[in-house]
């Protein structure tokens, strides 16, 4: 089975490529870029990608698929269908399911379900602590063997610094990392949105930016002291960007991600009490939004991840105070990120690094490249397509999206996993 994707603008930061050329795939593996060495064998399929951007399959390293336990919000099937519709060939899913992914059987269940779904590759992130309770370490070795690629109590911070130290050192010994949800609960207690003039006007208890910064500083200290890698999840503050920047200049083994809503919306969006503007960390001030964009531009932030957090109307169609935290993102992430290219903040190549090359490197998965011999995970993007966001069209089971009605530019038109076309927009 031979597939040729012809005449696309191929962007692969892993090989420093940005040029119009063909991508040749044979039996699910990339066999050549540019000239086909076996041009005598006619391809079984040719995809004309003229005017399109062809990239290594995009990777969303931070999603919540809600299965097992909350299948009415999302399943591995619906979540991975949403992933490929959004251009993602690989996603990592967090452990806060029910039961929590803190044991081999849950990790294996996720891997099997994902395989049966046959859409995106799904990489489980297992819990740092049993039951996400922050007391006893989960069985990292067993979990890794079962398929876990990283460890995180995401949704909860690991409050006990001693436990966090043991977690990062043990994860490092297994050639994996801990993904840290940075939140000082003493400062964030009772908070529902960013602490600012907006929260003061609305009479809503605020979450100060330092609730994030203080835990980022702690995690940097742990990474620096132990030498173990730590990945900071969903960076939303100027303070966190500055801390990570300084740590990286000292050579600390720290990486970071942010989510599209943190560079697209500020806390002003909360003004009308829409529960789709409620998430953790909260939408921050315009100064933080600016710093996050700058962090992406300068490479302080390594990855863009959606923090796809599906909730049904049962959790969201409520008073702001009672509504659950989180928004969906798999099907809006690429378009919102491409806006940074349109605005001249990022080059296309930087964008592909942030959404494919770097997440693969951080998770140490053999993805994020179009190198010869690599699995043929490929995303074809129409960077000029204009469309209006309407969650009713989404593959995700949930509709908790603050961007409804927004007209955006750029979308995945074809998503290929192991040489199979798993999504096409036309």
Please give the positions annotated as active site. Answer: 307
CA dist., res. 172 & res. 389, Å (int): 40
Closest listed residue to residue 98, CA positions, set 147, 65, 134: 65
Could you tell me how many helices (H) and strands (E) the chain has, helices first? 14, 18
Measured at the CA of 248, the angle between CA 244 and CA 251, to 5 degrees, comes to: 145
Q: Reduce the DSSP state of residue 401 to 3 states and report it.
A: coil
- Would you list the DSSP string of 256-270? EEE-HHHHH--GGGG
Q: Which residue lies nearer to other proteins by CB, 40 or 203?
A: 203
Cis omega (within 30 of 0) for bond into 99: yes
CA dist., res. 281 & res. 238, Å (int): 13
Q: Which residue lies nearer to other proteins by CB, 86 or 206?
A: 206
CA dist., res. 120 & res. 98, Å (int): 22
State the nearest-atom distance from the C-beta of 188 to other proteins, in Å: 14
State the nearest-atom distance from the C-beta of 321 to other proteins, in Å: 4
State the nearest-atom distance from the C-beta of 197 to other proteins, in Å: 4
Q: Which residue lies nearer to other proteins by CB, 277 or 358?
A: 277
Can you give the binding site for other proteins, defined by CB under 8 A?
195-197, 199-206, 208, 272-273, 317-322
State the nearest-atom distance from the C-beta of 282 to other proteins, in Å: 13
HSE value, Cβ hemisphere, 13 Å, CA-based, for 113 = 23
State the nearest-atom distance from the C-beta of 320 to other proteins, in Å: 5
Q: Which residue lies nearer to other proteins by CB, 268 or 348?
A: 268
Q: Which residue lies nearer to other proteins by CB, 160 or 321?
A: 321
Sheet arrangement for strand 230-232: 58-63, 88-93, 121-126, 150-151, 178-180, 230-232, 254-258, 303-304
């Amino acid at each position: 089975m031979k597939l040729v994707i012809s005449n696309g603008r191929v962007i692969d930061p892993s090989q420093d490529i940005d040029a119009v050329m063909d991508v040749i795939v044979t039996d699910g593996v990339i066999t050549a870029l540019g000239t086909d060495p076996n041009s005598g064998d006619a391809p079984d399929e040719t995809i004309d990608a003229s005017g399109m951007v062809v990239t290594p399959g995009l990777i969303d390293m931070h999603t919540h698929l809600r299965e097992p336990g909350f299948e009415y919000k999302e399943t591995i099937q619906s979540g991975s269908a949403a992933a490929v519709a959004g251009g993602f060939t690989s996603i990592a899913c967090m452990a806060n399911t029910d039961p929590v992914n803190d044991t081999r059987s849950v990790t294996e269940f996720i891997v099997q379900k994902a395989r049966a779904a046959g859409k995106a590759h799904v990489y489980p992130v297992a819990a740092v602590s049993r039951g996400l309770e922050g007391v006893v370490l989960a069985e990292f070795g067993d979990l890794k063997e079962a398929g876990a690629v990283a460890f995180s109590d995401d949704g909860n911070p690991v409050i006990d610094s001693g436990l966090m130290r043991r977690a990062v050192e043990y994860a490092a010994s297994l050639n994996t990392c801990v993904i840290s949800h940075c939140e000082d609960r003493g400062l964030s207690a009772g908070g529902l949105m960013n602490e600012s003039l907006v929260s003061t006007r609305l009479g809503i208890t605020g979450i100060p930016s330092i609730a994030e910064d203080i835990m980022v500083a702690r995690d940097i200290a742990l990474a620096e002291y132990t030498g173990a890698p730590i990945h900071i999840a969903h960076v939303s503050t100027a303070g966190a960007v500055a801390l990570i920047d300084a740590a990286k200049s000292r050579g600390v083994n720290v990486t970071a991600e942010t989510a599209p809503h943190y560079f697209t919306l500020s806390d002003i969006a909360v003004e009308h009490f829409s529960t789709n503007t409620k998430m953790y960390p909260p939408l921050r001030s315009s100064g933080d939004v600016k710093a996050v964009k700058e962090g992406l531009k300068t490479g302080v932030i390594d990855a863009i991840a959606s923090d796809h957090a599906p909730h049904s109307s049962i959790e969201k169609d409520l008073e702001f105070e009672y509504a659950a935290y989180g928004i969906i993102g798999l099907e809006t992430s690429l378009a919102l990120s491409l806006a940074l290219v349109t605005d001249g903040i990022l080059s296309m190549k930087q964008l592909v690094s942030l959404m494919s090359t770097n997440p693969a490197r951080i998770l140490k998965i053999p993805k994020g490249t179009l190198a010869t011999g690599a699995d043929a995970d490929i995303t074809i993007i129409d960077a000029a397509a204009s469309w209006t966001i309407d969650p009713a069209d989404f593959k995700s089971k949930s509709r908790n999206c603050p961007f409804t009605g927004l007209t955006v530019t750029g979308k995945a038109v074809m998503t290929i996993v192991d040489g199979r076309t798993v999504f096409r927009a036309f």
